């Protein structure tokens, strides 16, 4: 076997295979989304017992195989084990991992997405920002990193950058007060909600979780992003369905 490579990443999922092994999906800075097998990880004496779990963040040494990697060693910086005690917070966490998995590609470099995941899990633990707002921030920033996101700084019909009073799902962006009548699905948006969404688009990742909103604005931005994700992603997220049940 050749020398192992070292990557920095977060475990997106870890599922049992065979009698004692686990199949991990890791989002890495250097190689994008990779699959790695942790041999014997389900044995109680395995050094991989604590490593081969979702949310685990650190550096991983991997042997490169023809179709997958094999875990050689892990140097863990953060296990995020406190997340498990948070209900329903932990399901927000699982949802963010699912989104990262949805957008992740093998072979790409994913520094921004990895940073976003890391600061988002930290924000979930801190409790200063409501989980619902953490979700909205994560969803919109994940879209921005992926390159396809709503136009929030000018009217989608005329390009006007002022009097942005409405927002359209179908046209994916803001509508000014002059163009409202021409766009059927334009709905009013409050100045606070629009400003918050604009901030999320422009803010550096490390400054994302430095604000909070009043409950009405959390709800308004949350509802809009929820409908947006529903329309523009073609996957049903399992953890989101669990969240819906828990919060209803």
Polymer length in residues for the chain:
248
Among 160, 198, 203, 233, binds Zn ion (CB under 5 A): 160
Task: Using the minimum distance from each CB to Zn ion, give the nearer residue, 10 or 157.
Answer: 157
- Cβ nearer to Zn ion, comparing 187 with 219: 187
Element (DSSP H or E) covering residue 55 = none
Site for Zn ion in 7-36 (CB under 5 A): none
Cβ closest to Zn ion, residue 158 vs residue 202? 158
Rg (the chain; Cα; Å): 20
Compute the least distance from the CB of residue 156 to Zn ion, in Å: 8
Q: Which stretch binds Zn ion (CB under 5 A): 102-110, 127-135, 137-145, 154-162?
A: 154-162
Contacts within 8 Å (CB) and 24+ apart, 191-195 = 192/217, 193/217, 193/220, 193/221, 193/224, 194/152, 194/164, 194/167
Q: Which residues contact 38 (CB under 8 A, 6 or more apart)?
A: 14, 21, 22, 23, 24, 46, 48, 51, 52, 70, 71
User: How many amino acids of this chain bind Zn ion (CB under 5 A)?
Assistant: 6
Applying CB under 5 A, the span of 61-69, 114-122, 152-160, 217-225 interacting with Zn ion comes to: 152-160
Nearest distance in Å: CB 95, Zn ion: 34
Q: How far is the CB of 168 from Zn ion (least distance, A)?
A: 11
Strand order in the sheet with 187-188: 173-176, 164-168, 187-188
Angle, CA of 59, 94 and 73, to the nearest 5°: 20
Q: How far is the CB of 176 from Zn ion (least distance, A)?
A: 3
Pairing of strands 32-38, 69-78: parallel
Helix (H, G, I), strand (E, B) or coil at 201: helix
- Cis amide linkage into residue 36, ω under 30° from 0: no
- Asked if residue 155 binds Zn ion (CB under 5 A), the reply is yes
Could you give the CA distance from residue 85 to residue 110 in angstroms, rounded to a whole number? Answer: 28
What residues numbered 170-199 form the site for Zn ion, per CB under 5 A? 176, 179
Closer to Zn ion at the Cβ: 97 or 164? 164
Q: State the minimum distance, in angstroms, from the CB of residue 161 to Zn ion.
A: 10
Toward Zn ion, which CB reaches closer, 142 or 167?
Answer: 167
- Smaller CB separation from Zn ion, 152 or 218: 152
Binding site for Zn ion (CB under 5 A): 155, 157-158, 160, 176, 179
């Amino acid at each position: 076997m050749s020398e192992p490579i070292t990557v920095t990443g977060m475990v997106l999922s870890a599922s049992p295979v065979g009698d004692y092994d686990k199949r991990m999906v890791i989002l890495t800075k250097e190689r994008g989304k990779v699959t790695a097998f942790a041999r014997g990880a389900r044995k109680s004496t395995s050094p991989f017992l604590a490593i081969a779990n979702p949310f685990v963040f650190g550096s991983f040494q991997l042997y490169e195989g023809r179709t997958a990697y094999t875990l050689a060693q892990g140097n863990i910086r953060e296990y995020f084990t406190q997340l498990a005690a948070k209900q329903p917070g932990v399901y927000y966490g699982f949802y963010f991992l699912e989104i990262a998995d949805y957008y992740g590609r093998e072979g790409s470099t994913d520094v921004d997405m990895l940073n976003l995941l890391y600061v988002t899990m930290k924000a979930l633990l801190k409790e200063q920002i409501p989980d619902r707002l953490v979700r909205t921030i994560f969803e919109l920033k994940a879209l921005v990193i992926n390159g396809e996101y709503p136009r929030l700084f000018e009217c989608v019909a005329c390009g006007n950058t002022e009097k942005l009073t409405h927002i359209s799902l179908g046209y994916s962006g803001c509508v000014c007060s002059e163009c409202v009548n021409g766009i059927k699905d334009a709905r009013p948006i409050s100045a606070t909600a629009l400003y918050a969404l604009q901030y999320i688009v422009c803010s550096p990742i490390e400054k994302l979780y430095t604000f909070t909103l009043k409950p009405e604005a959390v709800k308004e931005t949350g509802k809009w992003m929820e409908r947006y994700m529903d329309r523009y992603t073609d996957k049903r997220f399992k953890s989101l369905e669990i969240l819906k049940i828990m919060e209803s």
